[in-house]
A = this chain, B = another copy of it.
Amino acid sequence: MQNHQFRLTSRPAGAVQRSDFSYGSEAVRALVEGEVLVQIKYVSLDPAMRGWMNASENSYMPPVGIGEVMRAIAAGKVIDSRNDGFAVGDHVTGLLGVQEYAISSGQGLFKVDAALAPLPLFLGTLGMTGMTAYFGLLDVGQPKEGDTVVVSGAAGAVGATVGQIAKIKGARVVGIAGGADKCRYLVEELGFDAAIDYKSEDVAAALKQHCPNGVNVFFDNVGGEILDAVLAKLAMGARVVICGAISQYNNLEAAKGPANYLQIMVKRATLRGVMVSDYYPRAKEAITDMAGWIRAGKLKTREDVVAGLESFPETFNKLFDGSNNGKLVLKVA
């Protein structure tokens, strides 16, 4: 059995290129005691993966080594097992990599109920993406009823979930996204109170218009100029949730820090990050709530499923040019 896979061969400068990877195949080896063989069906493409490709010593995970299979969360089916915890036919998710088959020790491998929802949903709203939104907003952002919540990257997988949960919790929600179609989607389909198109609007002026009482919670996926614009509009006692900085990940120069950070002091605000792995022990709480909201029609999900493992480098770059629509997932043929 041949396993096609992407291995990292050089550290990308800026946007990733096909030449930063090798795409090859090798035979799947036999399992040893305790191992599980997973046939991967879907690979999750997440902005964080760009950071894993860098040689940073200050990240929350070691970088992917040169020559290693590119790290990614994926979902698949157990097709062989020498681990009592997993049976052939089980559906699982975990850090299985950009490849067709993965051998796992079982550690960090989660069983999911494929009868409950389509497999890609366990990479999105019912997976890390949803948990990041859920705990980042509710645990770190702590919106109160009537608060104004602003979310950047609002049409992205995390952002769209954050905004809808904030609505469920009674907040007024303003999304920042790129393009008229995405903004229309946020307001008309997801029920956001307003959307700001950063590609065509003056974000500062639009924030002033849509957030007359300032911003109580800002959930930031983007960083850069958008973070600065929102910092200038914080309400007293605001909570700023740092989830990512997608505008900065492909930067060749040093990332741009938020020049307006002193507003944290002026507005008695708090800036904290969200790391989804800290919330694994509370996963059930999030999944139960979100599955319920999905069933009740209060939480809409959207997956952007692109077929073909071999398109990985080009498909991954859709995250950064804003051309994906919803949770980006690679379907393994």
Binding site for B on A (CB under 8 A): 58-60, 223, 228, 232, 242-245, 254-266, 268-275, 278
Contacts and interface: CB of A to CB of B under 8 A. Distances in A.
Contacts of A268: 272-273, 275, 278
B257 A261 contact: yes
A215 to B, nearest CB: 13
A264 B258 CA distance: 13
Given A232-B58, A270-B270, A272-B270, A242 B257 contact: no
A269 B266 contact: no
Contact of A272 (B223, B228, B264, B278): B264
A270 B273 CA distance: 8
A153 to B, nearest CB: 15
Contacts of A228: 257
A261 B275 contact: no
Contacts of A59: 266
Contacts of A255: 259-260, 262
A219 to B, nearest CB: 12
A243 B259 contact: no
A251 to B, nearest CB: 10
How many copies of this chain does one complex carry?
2
26 contacts: A58-B232, A58-B260, A58-B263, A58-B266, A60-B265, A228-B257, A242-B261, A243-B265, A244-B265, A254-B259, A256-B257, A256-B259, A257-B257, A257-B258, A257-B259, A258-B258, A261-B261, A264-B272, A266-B273, A266-B275, A268-B272, A268-B273, A269-B272, A269-B273, A270-B271, A271-B272
Contacts of A245: 262
A273 B266 CA distance: 7
A324 to B, nearest CB: 22
A60 B267 CA distance: 8
What 9 A-B pairs come out closest when comparing CB atoms? Answer: A265-B273, A257-B257, A271-B271, A257-B259, A257-B258, A60-B266, A254-B259, A242-B265, A255-B259
